[in-house]
């Protein structure tokens, strides 16, 4: 059963004019490809920050960005209110880095604290160093996913409150605080990982699709994502363990 009132899966890409610095648009392409490969029709809706956010999307994707565009995006999303309404009606959200931080109660940008959207129980502060590099870790077992890998590039550090759960226990890289990475609650997932994350972690893409469609999806004959995963895992885990990925 689909949770959508529409016959096709609606993928909403938020604010490409503000939050497209880090290549996270690839997550949209991966989701569309993996859905269409299973015979699911896809409707892609790109919403720039001067437009109202539609509330009837099935999966909302929100990417990373620099501090200035991140703060502006958050102000506009709060004023618009559409994303919060979409969450209330059960939409799936996949948010990356700046997008992840602004799901929470507050975050820091350009030395100032900003109110977040308050859609997930997280809160972000500025770290002492910038975290730049490869990250890998084990996903919360309740999600049934293999080791997550990706590339992080952020100044913030994130505290996960009791109403959300960390997404990953970090084995290499920094993530939220050097111990955990990302968070999830209900049908919202946030992560620091670029890569883009869904190209490097196709099982995570399929989890989002399964949540949105209510269907278990069969395996895909598509070997390159696994080849990419294997290559990056070898590079990260073979390359120096937990200290790897710390930068300034
Ligand atoms: N501006 C945020 C930070 O530096 C997010 C960066 C990003 O999206 N990569 O923490």
Residue 130 assigned as binding residue: yes
Q: Which residue has the higher pLDDT, 231 or 175?
A: 175
Residue by residue, DSSP assigns 39-100 as T--EEEEEE-TTSPPPS--SEEEE----HHHHHHHHHHHHHH-HHHHHHHTT-EEEEETHHH
pLDDT at 50: 97
pLDDT at 223: 79
Confidence of residue 238 (pLDDT cuts 50, 70, 90): confident
Return the SS3 of 211: helix
Q: Which residue has the least CA distance to atom 2 on ligand 1?
A: 98
Q: Which residues are catalytic?
A: 97, 194
Q: ipTM of this model? A: 0.95
- The pLDDT value recorded for residue 195 is 86
> Which tens digit of pLDDT belongs to each residue from 86-112?
999 999 999 999 999 999 999 999 999
Angle at 87 between CA 140 and CA 114, to 5 degrees: 85
CB 173 within 8 A of CB 206: no
pLDDT of residue 85: 98
Among the residue ranges 5-14, 144-153, 209-218, 224-233, the one predicted with the least confidence is: 224-233
**The pLDDT of residue 235 is above 90:** no
Distance from Cα 100 to the centre of ligand 1, integer Å: 9
User: What is the phi-psi region of residue 144: left when phi exceeds 0, alpha when psi lies from -120 to 50, beta otherwise?
Assistant: left
88-114 b/e (C-beta count within 10 Å ≥ 16 → b): eeebbbbbbbbbbbbbbbbbbbeeeeb
Ligand 1 pocket check for 64: Cβ under 6 Å: yes
What is the token pair recorded at 163?
């109403």
pTM across the whole model: 0.92
Comparing 152 with 247, which gets the higher pLDDT? 152
Distance, CA of 63 to CA of 143 (rounded, Å): 22
What pLDDT does 220 receive? 87
Ligand 1 within 6 A of CB of 114: no
Q: What percent of the chain is helix, strand and coil (3-state, nearest 5)? A: 30, 30, 40
**Tokens for 137?**
């870790």
Confidence of residue 239 (pLDDT cuts 50, 70, 90): low
């Amino acid at each position: 059963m689909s949770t959508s009132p529409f016959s096709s899966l609606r993928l909403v890409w938020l604010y490409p004019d503000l939050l497209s610095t880090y290549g996270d648009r690839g997550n949209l392409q991966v989701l569309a490809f993996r859905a269409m490969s299973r015979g699911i029709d896809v409707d892609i809706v790109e919403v720039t920050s001067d437009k109202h956010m539609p509330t009837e999307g099935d999966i909302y994707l929100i990417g990373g960005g620099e501090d200035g565009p991140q703060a502006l995006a958050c102000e506009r999303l709060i004023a618009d209110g559409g994303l919060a309404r979409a969450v209330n009606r059960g939409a799936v959200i996949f948010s990356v880095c700046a997008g992840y931080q602004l799901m929470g109660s507050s975050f820091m940008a350009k030395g100032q604290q900003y109110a977040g959207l308050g859609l997930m129980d997280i809160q972000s502060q500025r770290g002492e160093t910038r975290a730049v590099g490869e990250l890998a870790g084990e996903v919360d077992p309740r999600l049934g996913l293999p080791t997550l890998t990706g590339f992080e590039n952020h100044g913030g550090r994130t505290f996960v409150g009791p109403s959300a759960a960390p997404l990953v226990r970090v084995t290499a890289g920094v993530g939220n605080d050097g111990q955990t990475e990302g968070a999830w609650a209900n049908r919202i997932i946030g992560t620091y990982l670029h890569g883009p994350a869904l190209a490097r972690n196709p099982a995570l893409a399929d989890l989002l699709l399964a949540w949105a469609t209510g269907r278990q999806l069969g395996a895909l004959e598509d070997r390159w994502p696994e080849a990419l995963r294997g290559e990056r895992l070898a590079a990260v885990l073979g390359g120096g363990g937990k200290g790897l990925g710390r930068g300034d």
